[in-house]
Amino acid sequence: MSEEIKIEHEGDTVSRIHLGEREILLLGTAHVSLDSVEEVTNAIREELPDRICVEIDAGRYQSLSKNEKWQQMNLTKVFREKKGFLLLANLVLTSFQRKVGMNTGIKPGEEMKMAIEVADELSIPYSFSDRPVQMTLQRAWGKSSLWNKMKLLASLLSSVFSTENVDAEEVESLKEKGALQDMMEELSSFLPSVKEVLIDERDQYLATNIFEAPGNKIIAVVGAGHMEGIIRWIEDLHSGKKEADLKEISALPVRGVGSKMLPWIIPALILAIVVTGFITSGLDVGLRMLLVWVLANGTLAALGAILALAHPLTILGSFLAAPITSMNPTIGVGMVSGIMEYFFRKPRVSDMESLQDDVTSLKGWYRNRISRILLVFFFSSLGSSIGTFYALPRISMLLGG
């Protein structure tokens, strides 16, 4: 039988968990907070734990500490592996945090970086306790319905064009339980699948790694929004109600038969309608159907490329490719337009070095060739998708006479 657990809350951002002889000190932070950096530093020096657990994965830490991530990025490989949306989402999240950090004077994740630096200074071992960010983003995308994916893309797009500023006082308020609860409820109602992956699953992932970390005295530096969930999981792990098994949430979600078939159903439906038009209504109607399809897809994809200020040949390529790629689930017009823009306007070394700063402003998104390639990818894909849903009822009407 496990020993009784005892939890002491020392304000909104500090909780001390006693598990028999073991003690886990949870430090809740805001990722762009100067106060959080100081609190983490002071707590480690005063407590001198056996181990420090940080809410960050090894890849993100390398990006924070050495800034090599963007220099090593292969954009054409990203598009070919269908990871364009994931890269865009990652960059938008980076953009949002850096914009907030500019107003507080703190870089995103500085408290995590500082925790590791102090650990190195004091020769205290540490653990990267978070799930790799790419897996988190892939699971969030994979578990979202088509409607939630559209809402997620709309949220990402609005954050790119947003000029709203968040000051240091607002950042500190994010660590208060009331504000955190409101944010969680809002996210749950707006994007439940995303909340499940970004918050609930990571509560489990973080809690499990913290619970299993060696040492009798642990300091865990985590975002304040994860504290309640981590405490609940540690209670369940300690009592035996839950098992320390992370296999399911460490892999891509299994797609059902319906979701696997859907990308093929729409092209098959369109093809069937057009072929039926040729057979039952004659050559003239069939050709008009094809014209509607080509113009709807091609024009809107090209318009998306224009909105991203793409190279003229990329715009032309988007127009020509969209009607074809929309009928092939294995390739999207965004892949074609993104790769074309990459070859016509290859990123410079300066683009790679300044990317994280450039994406904090709308002008920077267009000035930097890397982020503009991603805008070309996104807007042309969005245009083609709209064109598909616009064309489908219209070619059906032509079939009906």
pLDDT in tens, 361-393: 888 889 999 989 999 998 999 899 899 889 888
Residue 69 has pLDDT above 60, yes or no: no
Residue 29's DSSP bridge partners are 223
Work out the pLDDT band at 263, boundaries 50, 70, 90.
confident
Residue 180's pLDDT is: 47
Segment 117-144 shows an average pLDDT of 89
Rounded Cα–Cα distance for residues 180 and 189 (Å): 14
Work out the pLDDT band at 148, boundaries 50, 70, 90.
confident
Rounded Cα–Cα distance for residues 210 and 53 (Å): 6
Q: How far is CA 60 from CA 129, 263, 275, in A?
A: 12, 33, 50
Residue 331 has pLDDT above 70, yes or no: yes
Q: Is 375 exposed, middle or buried (0-12, 13-18, 19+ CB in 10 A)?
A: buried
Residue 159 has pLDDT above 70, yes or no: no
Residue 190's pLDDT is: 65
Give the predicted TM-score (pTM) of the model: 0.77
pLDDT, tens digit, 9 for 90 and up, residues 82-99: 777 777 777 777 776 666
214 alpha carbon, distance to own chain's centre: 31
Residue 60's pLDDT is: 80
Residue 392's pLDDT is: 86
Segment 20-49 shows an average pLDDT of 87
- Cβ neighbours of residue 265 under 8 Å, at least 6 residues apart? none
Classify strands 5-9 and 14-19 as parallel, antiparallel or unpaired.
Answer: antiparallel
Segment 26-47 shows an average pLDDT of 85
Rounded Cα–Cα distance for residues 36 and 53 (Å): 15
Identify the helix (H) or strand (E) that includes residue 369.
Answer: helix 369-399
Residue 80's pLDDT is: 82
Residue 219's DSSP bridge partners are 25, 52
Residue 142 has pLDDT above 50, yes or no: yes
pLDDT > 70 fraction of the chain, expressed in percent and rounded: 82
The residue among 167 and 3 whose pLDDT is bigger is: 3
Rounded Cα–Cα distance for residues 282 and 351 (Å): 54
Work out the pLDDT band at 178, boundaries 50, 70, 90.
very low
Nearest by Cα to 327 from 374, 263, 371: 263
Work out the pLDDT band at 1, boundaries 50, 70, 90.
very low
Rounded Cα–Cα distance for residues 178 and 181 (Å): 5
Structural domain boundaries in the chain: 5-97+106-153+166-250, 257-399
Minimum mean pLDDT among 32-41, 201-210, 221-230: which range?
A: 32-41
Average per-residue pLDDT in the chain?
A: 82
Contacts from 138-142 at CB under 8 Å and sequence distance 24+?
A: 138/86, 138/252, 139/197, 139/201, 139/249, 139/252, 139/253, 140/193, 140/194, 140/197, 140/198, 141/85, 141/86, 141/89, 142/252, 142/253, 142/255
Work out the pLDDT band at 164, boundaries 50, 70, 90.
low
Identify the helix (H) or strand (E) that includes residue 8.
Answer: strand 5-9
Work out the pLDDT band at 400, boundaries 50, 70, 90.
low
Rounded Cα–Cα distance for residues 52 and 42 (Å): 13
Contact 344, 311 (CB under 8 A): yes
Residue 105 has pLDDT above 70, yes or no: no
Contact 203, 234 (CB under 8 A): no
382 alpha carbon, distance to own chain's centre: 18
Residue 67 has pLDDT above 70, yes or no: no
